Chains A and B, each alone.
Chain A
Amino acid sequence: MTLKKFFQVYSGVAILAGAALFAVVRVAYNQITFEAPDVTTIRICHWQLESGFREALQDLIDAYEKEYLERHGEKVRVLQLPVSERGYGQFVNTGLVGGIAPDIIERGFSRVVNDPSYLTRYFLPFGPYIESPNPYNVGTPLEGIPWRQTFSDGLISAYDRELLDYYMIPFSMFTERIYYNKDLYREATGRDDSPTSFLDFINVCNTIRDYAARQQRSLVPLAGSKYQAGVFQRKYTNTFLTDIIRLSDANLDGKCSLFESYQAYRNGVWSFESPALLASWQCTTDIAANFQQGWMAALRDDAVFMFVQGRALMFASGSWDASSLLAQVGDAFEVGVFNFPAPSDHPEYGKFARAMPSEAATGGGIPWGLNRATKHADLCIDFLRFCTTRDHNAQFTSHINWLPIVQGVTLSETLKPFKPRIEGIAGHFDYEISSELRLRAEGGRWQLFSGRMTPLDYAASLAEIYDRTAMEGFRTELEKNRRNMRNMDRIVAGRLLALAAPEASDIAAVERSVMQLLYANQAKTHDLAMDTHFLQTVTQ
């Protein structure tokens, strides 16, 4: 056999054999490494694929494994499983149902991790752990303080009002802001300070457009996409509607539900041509006029690229993007951040908009839940406690430029603009009562914001559908509420039944929990009765 023939015959075999050998060795190595009998392994899964998150979490994990070995003389391994948003829900669902889900799970993207009936079945509550101090805080100013109170939100956002317990431990919190290219801003405006008011913000946008025209540069004031338009819409709609909310808010809870808005509409409190509503739409349209041409077809990533490439001065997004953006920009330019300015100084909008929405109740983000099927609940708690000391939370959040959640963590200069705004309005106005209206509102919204439709035309198109479908929508939403109340009743029944258990434990605690459940849902129950009565009255 010639060498050429030998090569022809055996090279393929050799490569295949080599590949198989590599696979066997690698898999065996992984098996030995990750499933060593002398190492306790806990797994933690999340969908945070932003730049820096995995590294920041891994730093905490490495430090924890080292400290655990020093403290206990035993090895522990924490494996992080990053899964992209697209497959996260399925990954968690199947894992929980199959009993193979990770020990610590970032809650989200799935009904199983949010619906109370599944939550109680698949997750352990943190209630028994959070009222005792975090042992890792010994020797720090937080020593002796219950773990719950070391979080800057007091874990209020972790409390499930239907299950009456705490079902997550957060690592951070998030706000939305406007990022801007400081170098370009300086160059175009000759200023160093960020826009101080709404009119100033609009002036800056105009200046940038003039500057781009003068310089014949491909440059727009704001990087746009539907996502970005949505950010501005969220910020600038309720801002205009505080008076309507107050007048429509029959149950005085500070919000205007679908039912309240419909009843107020019938009573003439507001219409689609209400100046405040028209102004709110016009405001977002004014802002969107500063996006690039054809922004409606752009994706969120396209907007990021425009900003990173210096083709847009500003870019609106959440603090969760800070790290990725800074990494992308690198040394190309300095990134600044400022808050959405309230249009209170605008001659027209100022009549309606007193302040932007309040962020005082901003809750914790990165909600870690504890898998009920975990064999290492105490170890998981220990790990979460380790991660939520002041120093470790500072280390973690500074690594990825996210807001810390533990009390007393120093904010870096980069993060200061993200600090939640406490001066702001609280209300919320909801009128999209039928699916047909929701579709029309969603479809027409982009035409409105892109200037192809006037606010009055948009109002007319919504009013037509609202008048036709609102009653049916009211009925459907009412039915949904009735089902929600029915689900709540399941939880109450479960608690009440505990009184009949052969070894009924703490009877007073059971009684208290029944009372708390009924309290948490009382307003909704009463609203349901009122709204049902209203429906009966108007349909008679």
Chain B
Amino acid sequence: MSLERFLNQSVSPWMNAEGPESDIILTSRIRLARNLKNHAFPTISSQEEAKKVLEKFQGMIPLLNLYPLKDAEFLKMEHLQPLHKQVLVEKHLISPNLAEQSSHGACLLSQDEVISIMVNEEDHIRIQCIFSGLQLEEAFNLANAVDDQLEQHLDYAFSEVRGYLTSCPTNTGTGLRASVMMHLPGLVMTQQMKQLIPSINQLGFAVRGIYGEGSEALGNIFQISNQMTLGKSEQEIILDLKNVVEQIVQQERSARESIVKTAGIQLEDKVWRSLGILKNSRIIETKEAAKCLSDVRLGIDIGYIENISKNILNELMILTQPGFLQQYAGGPLRPFERDVRRATLIRERLLLEKNS
């Protein structure tokens, strides 16, 4: 497969779009958890019950003729190749849990991959919308509209006092998880991130690295999301998150400014060296690739590097994950082979920039 064709097939529109504040905010994501009345939740339900839920959902799909669920693709997990599932996970369109553990799990995916509805994950239904940049309200409005459409045909488990009843009590109420993915190299370099995380937590928001394990945030990419789902309206939850995120954006901007002012030449050196590594390496591990991509993206944002598109970070962070690399290679790869393949893919991708 040629790289261009692979990219055309692999890159979701929201990876390329440049939403508001997209120099720092990569994506905004909304997730709504919903369950059906009179069916045990997927975590304990029997095979037959899970099947019934799936059939109920599937029977309703033809009725969803409104944009944007028209022409959506229905993917049953049991019919997908492991590699295909892994790619969907790496794109954040389905959860690892749905891919590996669900029984009668499925996903309804809109053509533009903005909406994905998971069936029989931890909850019967999970509606997810991803937008580029800071567009929490837009993503919520879409998810909300999808929810309204589904509710016309499905009986939700809802209580006046508790709200939407979910499998896990951490989602009860609105069932809403709003999250924003942010690129914060300035705050990491100036050592401010470590202090910032506890104070964001105190405000009721979770911070985690979205790539990499544990507390490590590969590529200086962090995800901020609400923890509380009960007692506030959806609008309040989103507004509160937006306010926190906007403050972090301000702090990241001023951190970048102060680095440029006080250590401009060192930063420029770091950025160009990283571009050199990406352009020339023959073997590259995930961690090093993520670090270099973060540096190059920062260099583009600041204006040191021209002629390379901004979305290279978003795109390559996703495409250099094991599942994608193996899909590109057309078969399974051992870890060392992946590192070679990763280096090749990055080099070819950068060459594509020059030609265009």
Q: Do A and B bind?
A: no
